[in-house]
Chains A and B, each alone.
Chain A
Amino acid sequence: MVSSTIDHMIAITVFLAATLLFVGLFNQTIQTAVIYQHHRATATKASDLLDNMLLSPGIPLRWGQNDSLPTSFGLQDPEFTQYRTSAFSLMRLNSATGTSVFYPKTGETYSNITIGDKNFLLVSQTSSLNYTTALDLLGIRNQYGFQLTFTPIVTVSVTDDFDTGHLRLSVDAYGTGFPLANAHVSYCLVSVGLTGGAEGHPAYTIDYGNATTNGQGSVTLEFTGITSSSSYSFIAYVHLGGLVGVGYCEHVSSEAEYVIPLVGSVSNGTILIAHSFDIESSDPPSSEVKYNASLVYLAEDFTLREMPLENSYGHVNSGDGSPYEVVNIPTDNPGILIITYKKSAVEGGLVMMPWGVSSLAFPVVFGGDPSSQEWVATDMRQVIVGGVTYQATLALWSLEGYQVVG
């Protein structure tokens, strides 16, 4: 009787233990499969969402070229079908990476897509589309988070040296996986003349040219008239087999005080010319900076053309009582605003601003931060933005939670 009872107790104990063990094992397998299914669903959603963004221009169609918010989110260039993205819609996305800039004279904060030292793209946040609004327009708020990245496929790096006593530029072009050998290069060199401009404003000259890269995707260009004391900017478009990339560099003789362009109104093409001290909060005293603005754009034959601007020159100063100046860009096509500035007869330089992100191949990062997410699905497409080839990558993660293990 006693041994039978003990047998029962041992059997039940072992049975219960084994049952719990196997329930746990089966449960783990099922949970893993469920998580995989959720991940799979997220990946499918990422692919669909990326196509939705890239294959729809949004509503209104040309929301990228006005200041109002869209009622439907989409980035396709309204003049084209398929994977062609509007350079202006991208310009209106609030940058996720740049630190926003406050300009006291307008009382507005500006989305900062600035790349490098003297290449600005500051868009008024009242004109910018923020991440939360985009989530609402896409109908995924509180369900998914995303980060949308546009990266130029062709990277064109330009380095300068004066070892020979004059300017020598080395242009290196490479794609995501390979150097761009034997590619065609169209370039322009904008050199600043601190004297000779109208009413004492800085003048500029633009030289155009063409070249071809070697087997390593490089080409060296020499400009005998430019020395280390000169101020200039160099812009190169590299194209081969449908791929187009942009590279640039600047060299200025004075960086202490300069002008900063701010996009005041996208629809009117209004660019505010601000004194750098007002934005960088540098202490007075500052001196007046004279400027002269010009717009160049890439023609269909890959040559750069200059477009005249009205009221293209003026002067700005910092502090109260010194208002900003305004330049209007009279086109809805992408271009590069080049502003030469002059502090004194020997101090000056120039800054550049892309009108539409593609003209200087600015990368764009829009959305949330994926780094702290449990699972992030990504997908990518090759797209054309204003004639320049980009890779669009969407990182998507679920916010609803499906962590069922542990």
Chain B
Amino acid sequence: MMRTIEVLIVIIIITGAFIGASFFAVLPWPRQVSPVNLRRLSFTTLQVLDSDYDLSIAAFDIENDTLWSELQIALSASLPPNVVYNLTVFEVGSSTGGAELYNNLITISNTDSLGSTSDASSYLAASSNVTFNVVPEKIGEESGEGTLYILNCSDANGWWITGYTAQSLAEDLYQLLSPYFVDAIMVQNTAELGTILGGTPLHGETLENAVIINTFGEAVPIPTAYCTWPYSENSYAHYSYFLGQKVNEYNWTWASIVGYPFYYVSNKAAFSGTQNSWGIYGMQCTGGSGAIAFLRGLDNQAYSTSGSAVTDSADRQAALTQVAIEACNYYGIYPSVYQTSTRALSDSIRATYHLTVGLHIFNPVLDGYNVYNPGTIYNHVFDGSSTITGSLLALGLTRTPDIRLTGIGLLSYYQPRLYRSEYTSYGTSRLVVLQLGLVGAV
């Protein structure tokens, strides 16, 4: 009998333990187990309300009953029926001691109580005198590359850039494109150009995969050190061949902004007594063999200038491609859609020099059986390979150059993103807090 009594005592103890454990082990409500993320819902609701700046306008016009009525209707309409809200606008100020003060300006709500489950998000509404800030993605920032060289050589002259100097074009290009590159470097003289061609960075930047924009039009600056044999061969066509080799070696993108590419070389000191037959001294005419030599160098072919000219000389109307037009809208750069081309490259160079079309900036023009490309980025790809080994952006348009076309061409090709919706308040700002609660069953 004693044993039975002992067992009953044990049962009483275990029962007490179970009741005690059950008392403390309170299971959460189902709503707490799988909650709707009210904080995120609140934040995204505020973003939706401010998508057309209605919330910001209302936050700075709290006396406007019409605006606040519309906002309240929109808020009520956007939330599920079982979600109640309380929206409060605070003015952010500071006390004489410097501490931040939040003054409650206005509150709208559709409930007296937000229930047992609620959460809130805040949103900083900026007044209309804020600066809209667009942050561009940097080309090559993920790969550690992304260098832009703009030729701004003070000791060289340009041609077919009538009305401009190469330096003014370089400055405009810098302002236009430097936000999109990790490093944007102005190459100030031909000696610095020689340094780059020698494989040495100017400021620790990455040489490989860089973009080089030649702002000198049909002329190419040549360092004094290269004004000698063998580069002087065929009126310095060999220098263009050398440039092609370097573009291939470092996978550069060489941009020719106007006219016949590689038609002249320029160095004010070395060619001080030579003019381009149009009265511009410091230049040496290479002629059509410059482009041929460049392409042969790009394709790692043996040096030669033989072959027919690769550039057309007829007047043709060129129209921006749809890709380029959309890039105009995206980046907010609006050159004329229609341009006149007088130095379009023949499409036949693609087969001869292993080039593929990276991007047509202008639609190709058909003339009989011949196809001409008024503006195209060519990628050099060896047979059997998928790796790009050098590129050429050739805008065969007539003078005067529009550097926005070069900008659109490069931006269309690389497609850096614009982060538009970040904006920073430089003036007053107001804090909008939206607290949401759930009503109904648990």
Interface string of A12-37 (1 = CB under 8 A from B): 10110011001001100100110010
Q: Assuming A177-B76, A177-B77, A243-B48, is B10 touching A380 (CB within 8 A)?
A: no
Residue of B nearest to A379 (CB): B37
A330 to B322, CA, bound (A): 7
At the interface, yes or no: B124 with Cβ under 8 Å from chain A?
no
Chain A residues near B7 (CB-CB < 8 A): 11-12, 14-15, 18
Shortest distance from the beta carbon of A283 to any chain B beta carbon, whole Å? 41
Shortest distance from the beta carbon of B408 to any chain A beta carbon, whole Å? 16
A332 to B1, CA, bound (A): 90
Chain A residues near B35 (CB-CB < 8 A): 43
Contact check: which of B10, B77, B417, B418 meets A175 at CB < 8 Å?
Answer: B77
A81 & B422 in contact (Cβ 8 Å cutoff):
yes
Number of interface residues of B (CB under 8 A): 57
A382 to B49, CA, bound (A): 10
A242 to B50, CA, bound (A): 6
A15 to B11, CA, bound (A): 8
Shortest distance from the beta carbon of B290 to any chain A beta carbon, whole Å? 37
Name the segment of A178-186, A221-229, A248-256, A357-365 touching the other chain: A178-186
Contact check: which of B1, B18, B21, B75 meets A241 at CB < 8 Å?
Answer: B75
Number of interface residues of A (CB under 8 A): 62
A7 & B1 in contact (Cβ 8 Å cutoff):
yes
Interface string of B1-16 (1 = CB under 8 A from A): 1111011101100110
Shortest distance from the beta carbon of A342 to any chain B beta carbon, whole Å? 30
B74 & A241 in contact (Cβ 8 Å cutoff):
yes
B18 & A26 in contact (Cβ 8 Å cutoff):
yes
Q: Assuming A40-B34, A384-B51, is B75 touching A29 (CB within 8 A)?
A: no
Contact check: which of A7, A14, A32, A180 meets B27 at CB < 8 Å?
Answer: A32
A379 to B37, CA, bound (A): 6
Residue of B nearest to A215 (CB): B73
Chain A residues near B383 (CB-CB < 8 A): none
B78 & A389 in contact (Cβ 8 Å cutoff):
yes
At the interface, yes or no: A3 with Cβ under 8 Å from chain B?
yes
A339 to B4, CA, bound (A): 90
A7 & B37 in contact (Cβ 8 Å cutoff):
no
A61 & B34 in contact (Cβ 8 Å cutoff):
no
Contact check: which of A22, A180, A242 meets B49 at CB < 8 Å?
Answer: A242
Chain A residues near B441 (CB-CB < 8 A): none
Shortest distance from the beta carbon of B225 to any chain A beta carbon, whole Å? 43
B34 & A176 in contact (Cβ 8 Å cutoff):
no
Q: Assuming A18-B10, A242-B50, is B40 touching A175 (CB within 8 A)?
A: no
A176 & B80 in contact (Cβ 8 Å cutoff):
yes
Shortest distance from the beta carbon of B355 to any chain A beta carbon, whole Å? 23
Chain A residues near B2 (CB-CB < 8 A): 7
Contact check: which of B27, B322, B417, B419 meets A36 at CB < 8 Å?
Answer: B27
A242 & B27 in contact (Cβ 8 Å cutoff):
no
Q: Assuming A14-B7, A14-B11, A178-B76, is B18 touching A43 (CB within 8 A)?
A: no
At the interface, yes or no: B25 with Cβ under 8 Å from chain A?
yes
Contact check: which of B41, B70, B73 meets A381 at CB < 8 Å?
Answer: B41
Chain A residues near B422 (CB-CB < 8 A): 81
B74 & A243 in contact (Cβ 8 Å cutoff):
yes
A177 & B81 in contact (Cβ 8 Å cutoff):
yes
B54 & A242 in contact (Cβ 8 Å cutoff):
yes
Q: Assuming A33-B25, A80-B420, A153-B78, is B40 touching A389 (CB within 8 A)?
A: no
At the interface, yes or no: B64 with Cβ under 8 Å from chain A?
no
B77 & A174 in contact (Cβ 8 Å cutoff):
yes
Interface string of B381-425 (1 = CB under 8 A from A): 000000000000000000000000000000000010111111000
Q: Please indicate which of the listed interface residues B41, B45, B74, B75 has the most CB atoms of chain A within 10 Å of its own CB.
A: B74
Residue of A nearest to B2 (CB): A7
Chain B residues near A18 (CB-CB < 8 A): 7, 10-11, 14
Chain A residues near B74 (CB-CB < 8 A): 175, 180, 240-243
Chain A residues near B3 (CB-CB < 8 A): 7-8, 10-12
Chain A residues near B76 (CB-CB < 8 A): 175, 177-178
Chain B residues with a Cβ under 8 A of chain A: 1-4, 6-8, 10-11, 14-15, 18, 21-22, 25, 27-28, 33-37, 40-41, 44-45, 47-52, 54-55, 69-71, 73-81, 83, 322, 326, 330, 415, 417-422
Chain A residues with a Cβ under 8 A of chain B: 3, 7-8, 10-12, 14-15, 18-19, 22, 25-26, 29, 32-33, 36, 39-40, 42-43, 47, 51, 61-62, 78-84, 153-154, 174-183, 239-243, 330-332, 375, 377-384, 389
Minimum-distance CB pairs A-B, first 4? A175-B77, A241-B74, A11-B3, A178-B76
Given contacts A40-B33, A82-B47, 9 further A-B contacts (CB under 8 A): A39-B33, A40-B34, A176-B77, A177-B78, A177-B83, A180-B77, A241-B49, A241-B71, A243-B48
